[in-house]
Amino acid sequence: MNFAITGYAVTTAGAGYTAAAGSVTVSATPVPTAGTAAYTNPGSQIELVAMRQAVISAPVSSAGAITATGEYVVDGGSYEAIPTAGSISIIGNGLITTAAVLTLTVGGIVDNENYIYPN
């Protein structure tokens, strides 16, 4: 399966986030599936997905808290497994006094790629 982040829900809004444009960037680091036990066909599935981080513009309230109202997914990224909470990064400036906690929502990506195999 190839997953993409489609949005997030705010569990804890946090405090101290500031950004000149009124938003911060949220992303999640792709982590490859450990070992080969998770693959049905390891010979063709290992390293088949070119993973990349998602980029989401997360609005920040005037109080410095992250909100999901008006979030904008710039790039949902590409993941071979659903990203875990520990892989979420929030990039912004300011003196963060309370860390935000977000829950990611994901969906599948339709792969329309073709592969040519030699004879």
| pLDDT at 17 > cutoff 70 | yes
- Backbone torsions φ then ψ of 66, nearest 5 degrees: -80, 140
**pLDDT tier at 19 (50, 70, 90 boundaries)?**
low
In a domain, 119, yes or no: no
Which residues form the domain of 104?
3-108
Neighbouring C-alpha atoms within 13 Å toward the C-beta of 19: 17
What is the amino acid identity at position 102? L
Taking only the tens place, the pLDDT of each residue in 71-87 is 888 888 888 777 876 77
**Number of structural domains found in the chain:** 1
In a domain, 102, yes or no: yes
Mean predicted confidence (pLDDT) in 3-28: 84
* Degrees to nearest 5, angle at CA 106 with 67 and 22: 25
pLDDT band of residue 10 (cuts 50, 70, 90) is: very high
- pLDDT higher for 58 or 115? 58
What is residue 38's DSSP assignment? T
- Residue 113 within any structural domain of the chain: no
